[in-house]
Amino acid sequence: MAENEPIRVVVTGAAGQIAYSLISMISNGDVFGTKQPVILHLLDIPPAMGVLEGVCMEIDDLALPLVKGYVKTTDPAEAFKDVDAAFLVGAMPRREGMERKDLLSANVKIFKVQGEALDKHAKKDVKVLVVGNPANTNALICSFYAPSIPKENFTAMTRLDQNRAQSAIAKRLEVCVSNVKNVTIWGNHSSTQFPDVFNASVQSSGKSTSVYDCINNSQWLEGEFIKTIQTRGAAVIQARKMSSAMSAAKAAVDHMRDWWSGTSDGTWVSMGVISDGSYGVPKGLIYSMPVSISNKQWKIVEGLKITDFAKTKLDLTAKELLEEKEEAMAVCNA
């Protein structure tokens, strides 16, 4: 049987913490399947090249048959040439005392360059996942500077939040995490996000029960649970003295794998995608929604019940994203 043609996969911030876990998972077939060879395109800034050299030595030493080569570079044109999939991990992290607009303007510069490089050099059906924060708005900027690539091909990662929420429910119910289905993250990957389990279910001994019925404590579900998921990133930083890396890499793998291979019938996943006005979300924002996926195309899951409580949460996170979009666009047009 002839071997599949290798696909080209770019990882930015390739010398960083998240990429360190992510690269080995991509190389191992966790994302694109165990029969799909890959050529890795690894992009980072000049001061990180020494570390990236070490990462490449480790890629060699993994001795994985799917890796058909790698490109390590500081040049976006080289990094994005002919890529099929992009993990945009590198971003300017928020530092203490930094205003959000400072963070946004630093990231506009990064994602402008990357958007332009994608536009000029990547395949037109490239699948772009933005991991670097503020992920939703970074994805929007990137798409803005890549007008020849469909807006649907730019997504932001809220899968880490979905995984956190799914895990918290499973832990509370003392069930396996795979028994919890259809947890939704709405909105921004920030502390305004809304982890929603109103339409989620728990499978046990062959039957499916709503999470609300199983947990039977709406005060916890609409209070402490939401707060815990919204602030989980900060809690990890406080404990680990560094931001989530292993879990963020795994979430990026989950997001891209589902986009590549599809979701199973009756299930959905959360992705920051371009809004078409569904659920009253303003059009043109990159907003986390429940999506089902087939043939590498995502579709917003329509007709889910949105309670009045949920509606206020959806509006609140949309408001934050509109503000971010305005600030970012002001920088873009400056």
Is 100 labelled as part of a ligand binding site?
A: yes
The answer to whether residues 43 and 74 touch, using CB atoms and an 8 Å cutoff, is yes
Is 133 labelled as part of a ligand binding site?
A: yes
Match 């993250």 to its residue by tokens.
Answer: 185
Is 164 labelled as part of a ligand binding site?
A: yes
Match 């402490």 to its residue by tokens.
Answer: 224
Is 240 labelled as part of a ligand binding site?
A: no
Q: Give the separation between CA 140 and CA 249, rounded to whole angstroms.
A: 21
The HSE-up count of residue 88 (CA atoms within 13 Å, CB side) is: 35
Active-site annotation holds for 189: yes
Q: What is the DSSP secondary-structure string of 165-213? A: HHHHHHHHHT--GGGEE--EEEB-SSTT-EEE-TT-EEEETTEEEEHHH
Is 107 labelled as part of a ligand binding site?
A: yes
Pairing status of strand 127-130 against strand 154-156: parallel
Determine which one of 41, 121, 189, 255 is catalytic.
189
Q: Give the separation between CA 197 and CA 221, rounded to whole angstroms.
A: 8
Which alpha helices (H) appear in 42-188, and where do they start and end?
Answer: 49-62, 76-79, 100-121, 135-144, 159-173
Q: Where is the binding site for substrate, in residues?
A: 94, 100, 133, 164
Q: Where is the binding site for NAD(+), in residues?
A: 44, 107, 131-133
Catalytic positions are 189
